[in-house]
């Protein structure tokens, strides 16, 4: 009887080699970091007259009991990783002048208005439109009470 040749540490069977290559490809393609939401950006409160930054500006149209109105809602990603409302503004409310919502496909969406001689401006990288029968601001109060919201301006 002849003894089987001794395998060296660098000799693999074809099956093991294919399994290792397959696993390497899967781990290179499947990046577990891509599945996580983006890390929260520090939430800043800026002085009056300065431009505030949020993650999403939403134009929300509500209709309840035959009444329709629009509001602009400003969302930021909080440390819990969720989007929460920071502030909202009824479109066409009294005391507001020169209300503008710019979302023409550029890199930033912007909303601006004047009130009591002060110019307010909010910018975001994302814009969305929605139609709801429930007020998103009231629904968000369940997850984050108004008292815990980070204001846009001081």
pLDDT score for 1: 60
Which domain, by its residues, includes 144?
A: 51-148
Q: What is the mean pLDDT of each run of 10 residues along the chain (154 residues)?
A: 64 73 65 53 86 95 88 92 93 87 87 93 95 92 92 92
Per-residue pLDDT tens digits for 20-49: 777 776 665 555 545 555 555 568 999 999
pTM (predicted TM-score): 0.72
d(CA 80, CA 122): 22
Tell me whether residue 32 is in a domain.
Answer: no
Q: How far apart are CA 27 and CA 40, in angstroms?
A: 26
Q: Are 71 and 91 in contact (CB under 8 A)?
A: yes
pLDDT, position 106: 78
In a domain, 127, yes or no: yes
Q: Is residue 75 situated within a structural domain? A: yes
């Amino acid at each position: 009887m002849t003894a089987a040749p001794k395998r060296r540490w660098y000799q693999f069977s074809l099956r093991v080699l294919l399994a290792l290559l397959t696993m390497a490809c899967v781990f290179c393609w499947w990046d577990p970091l891509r599945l996580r939401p983006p890390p929260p950006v520090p939430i800043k409160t800026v002085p009056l007259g300065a431009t505030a930054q949020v993650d999403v500006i939403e134009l929300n149209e509500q209709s309840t009991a035959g009444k329709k109105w629009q509001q602009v809602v400003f969302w930021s990603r909080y440390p819990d990783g969720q989007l929460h409302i920071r502030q909202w503004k009824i479109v066409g409310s009294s005391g507001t002048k020169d209300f503008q919502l710019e979302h023409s496909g550029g890199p930033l969406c912007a909303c601006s208005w004047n009130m009591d001689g002060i110019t307010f401006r909010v910018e975001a990288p994302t814009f969305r439109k929605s139609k709801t029968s429930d007020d998103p601001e009231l629904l968000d109060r369940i997850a984050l009470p108004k008292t815990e919201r980070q204001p846009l301006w001081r």
